[in-house]
């Protein structure tokens, strides 16, 4: 049994941890294989783009001729298997990158169909589903339609055959589960949806919210039929180093249209200073495949540990994974709060802070978040969060390295034990 001289952990948690590690050996080997492949792909992207130290120089003002900005786009495009990419520090979140993409390619009178049910909470105001509609796609005359998932949380392919029709402008896919317990989508699932969309509505745009899914598999959605995708750099593709930002990647013409929405028609991607962020964005991209692998190991360990402690988990520890998120059904409010407080104790930053539920903008109930991170809100760093509502599940993700991520999960169990909640 590994000694933990710096943290007080109950022997029963230590024992459960060791048993979990023994079961995980083949899972960790599988994760390392994918991470190794993607790391080679990233190195090839850097080599192909001829990245040099001169690309780390920042620009100011309009940013005309920013070589680093343009080469960073090349690196991401190659690594993500896309024709083109738009990678910018001034994307303030994944939702912002998705919003720019949606407004970039949709026009008044167009109809988009979400085939994975209602999108993540923060995108609903963008669509005009919630809020007062001010500035939403709905206000601009873009129509939103929704196809719910089946009862088991999987895509309803038969209904897609009926609902996707000629004239539909966009088929929208959310890869990750968000605050739900449905399975996240694999590349193979996205490819199947894209094939139906292209057959039923030739010329439609297949767009993917790829947040949490980058570098989890050996391929990305744009290599299997998706026309456009977007995500956040403070999740997987920023490698825990990018201080902010997001990306849009896909078909060259669509990415160009998105650049006109990000800046202005006519200037597009040609302007936008980088203010000295290039080095961190390049370094983060290079680390991203390995860091994603570490986050996947952390998620698998948490799944193995908490399932052995009597909790339902999704995915299970030995399942293949489509994103870095691990859900644990804790069944009661007090267990959820104790779990998050334990995760916070395992953070390198603000470990002394006690997470409390609060009314977070964009959500319809109180939310609790544990995120002691070097970058505020970076969910590639170990974090856990959840809305305080039934079934009191917690969504855990991230882990810059597996050693600390594993310890964070154990501290979550310890916190629950100390509150008299853990069923040991």
- Taking the C-alpha atoms of residue 380 and residue 103, their distance in angstroms, rounded to an integer, is 27
Which alpha helices (H) appear in 53-115, and where do they start and end?
Answer: 67-79, 94-105
Strand order from edge to edge, sheet including 393-397 = 312-314, 326-329, 393-397, 383-387, 367-370
Q: What number of other Cβ atoms are within 10 A of residue 310's Cβ?
A: 10
Q: CATH number of 11-36+290-418: 3.40.50.300, 3.90.1150.60, 3.40.50.620, 1.10.3720.10?
A: 3.90.1150.60
pLDDT score, position 401: 97
Q: Which residues of the chain have pLDDT under 70?
A: 1-4, 362-363
End-to-end CA distance of the chain: 19
CATH entry 3.40.640.10 includes domain 41-285 = yes
Tokens standing for residue 150: 């089946």
**Residue-by-residue DSSP string for 148-187:** PPPTTSS--HHHHHHH--TT--EEEEE-S--SS-SPPPPH
pLDDT score, position 3: 60
Query: Residue 208's beta-bridge partner residues?
Result: 173, 229
pLDDT score, position 265: 96
Buried b (16+ CB within 10 A) or exposed e, 244-254: bbbbbbbbeeb
Spans of all domains in the chain: 11-36+290-418, 41-285
Q: Which residues contact 152 (CB under 8 A, 6 or more apart)?
A: none
What backbone torsions phi and psi does residue 232 show, to the nearest 5 degrees?
Answer: -110, 140
pLDDT score, position 391: 87
**Which element (helix H / strand E) includes 383?**
strand 383-387
| Sign of the alpha-carbon torsion through 88, 381, 288, 154 | negative
| Sign of the alpha-carbon torsion through 140, 118, 209, 116 | negative
């Amino acid at each position: 049994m590994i000694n933990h001289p710096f943290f007080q952990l109950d022997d029963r948690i230590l024992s459960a941890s060791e048993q979990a590690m023994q079961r995980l050996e083949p899972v960790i080997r599988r994760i390392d294989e994918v991470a190794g492949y993607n790391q080679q792909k990233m190195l090839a992207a850097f080599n192909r783009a001829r990245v040099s130290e001169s690309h780390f120089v920042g620009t100011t003002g309009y940013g005309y001729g920013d070589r680093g900005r343009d080469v960073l786009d090349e690196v991401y495009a190659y690594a993500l298997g896309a024709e083109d990419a738009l990678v910018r520090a001034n994307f303030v979140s994944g939702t912002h990158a998705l919003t720019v993409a949606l407004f970039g390619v949709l026009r008044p009178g167009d109809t988009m169909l979400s085939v994975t049910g209602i999108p993540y909470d923060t995108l609903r105001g963008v669509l005009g589903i919630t809020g007062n509609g001010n500035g939403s796609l709905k206000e601009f005359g873009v129509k939103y339609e929704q196809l719910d998932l089946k009862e088991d949380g999987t895509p309803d392919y038969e209904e897609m055959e009926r609902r996707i029709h000629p004239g539909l402008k966009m088929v929208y896919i959310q890869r990750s589960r968000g605050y739900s317990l449905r399975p996240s989508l694999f590349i193979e699932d996205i490819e199947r949806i894209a094939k139906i969309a292209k057959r039923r509505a030739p010329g439609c745009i297949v767009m993917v919210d790829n947040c949490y899914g980058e570098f989890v598999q050996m391929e990305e959605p744009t290599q299997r039929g998706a026309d456009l995708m977007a995500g956040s750099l403070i999740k997987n593709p920023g490698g825990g180093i990018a201080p902010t930002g997001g990306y849009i990647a896909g078909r060259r013409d669509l990415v160009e249209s998105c650049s006109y929405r990000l800046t202005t028609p006519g200037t597009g991607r040609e302007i936008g200073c980088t203010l000295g962020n290039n080095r961190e964005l390049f370094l983060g991209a290079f680390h991203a495949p390995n860091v994603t692998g570490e986050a996947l190991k952390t998620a698998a360990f948490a799944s193995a540990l908490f399932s052995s402690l009597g909790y339902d988990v999704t995915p299970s520890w030995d399942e293949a994974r489509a994103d870095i998120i691990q859900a644990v059904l804790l069944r009661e409010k007090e267990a959820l709060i104790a779990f998050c407080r334990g995760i916070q104790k395992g953070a390198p930053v603000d470990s002394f802070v006690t997470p409390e539920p609060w009314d977070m903008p964009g959500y319809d109930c109180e939310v609790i978040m544990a995120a002691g991170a070097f970058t505020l809100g970076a969910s590639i760093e170990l974090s856990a969060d959840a809305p305080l509502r039934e079934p009191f599940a917690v969504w855990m993700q991230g882990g810059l390295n597996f050693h600390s991520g594993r310890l964070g999960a154990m501290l979550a169990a310890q916190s629950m034990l100390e509150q008299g909640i853990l069923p040991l």
